[in-house]
Amino acid sequence: MPIDLRQVAAISGQSGLYRVVKPTRTGVIVESLEENPKNMVAQARHRMSLLEEISIYTTDEEATIPLADVFDRIHQKYGDDLPLSEKPSNEDYKAFIAEVVPEYDEDRVYVSDMKKLAAWYTIVNKFVGFTEEKASEEDTTPAESETEEGSEEQA
């Protein structure tokens, strides 16, 4: 997976995203993902969702696409610059999600979800970052990749 969302969370009632730092007796310590990070304790009364557990509904009966895969698609297609204006309309958001996830379920994925997706992608791209697995594989020569494969088999 190109991005690790296991320690990234959204907290209901709080703007932005948070990195889970460590558990406490009454909740978990989280650090805001922003220029000047702040720590706080998210208690049991806070509804916290790990981004790793969030998916986008698709038109397939029981299928969803994990948020990490959606972020990867956005990163591959647009990189750092999302194709949204400063004040995008609802139609702009719908066109954006249709470009990235053409099979998304229009009845169950709301515009408010699309807005969160765009905002969260911007934060994750800036403060968590993507690993460039494909680029590093292309940079290695065939002899190096054979050596790496051989060492993995022995381990």
List the end-to-end C-alpha distance of the chain, in Å, as a whole number: 22
C-beta separation of 113 from 104 below 8 A: no
pLDDT at 85: 83
SS (H, E, C) 56-109: EEECCCCCEEEHHHHHHHHHHHHCCCCCCCCCCCHHHHHHHHHHHCCCECCCCC
C-beta separation of 111 from 118 below 8 A: no
Q: Cα(93)–Cα(112) distance, rounded to whole angstroms?
A: 9
pLDDT at 46: 84
Q: Look up residue 115 and give its two tokens.
A: 């807005």
Looking at the domain 54-127, which fold is it?
Answer: Arc Repressor Mutant, subunit A (1.10.10)
* pTM as predicted: 0.78
Q: Cα(68)–Cα(117) distance, rounded to whole angstroms?
A: 11
Output the average pLDDT for the chain.
83
pLDDT at 131: 66
pLDDT, one tens digit per residue, over 32-80 is: 999 889 999 988 788 999 999 999 999 987 789 999 999 999 999 998 8
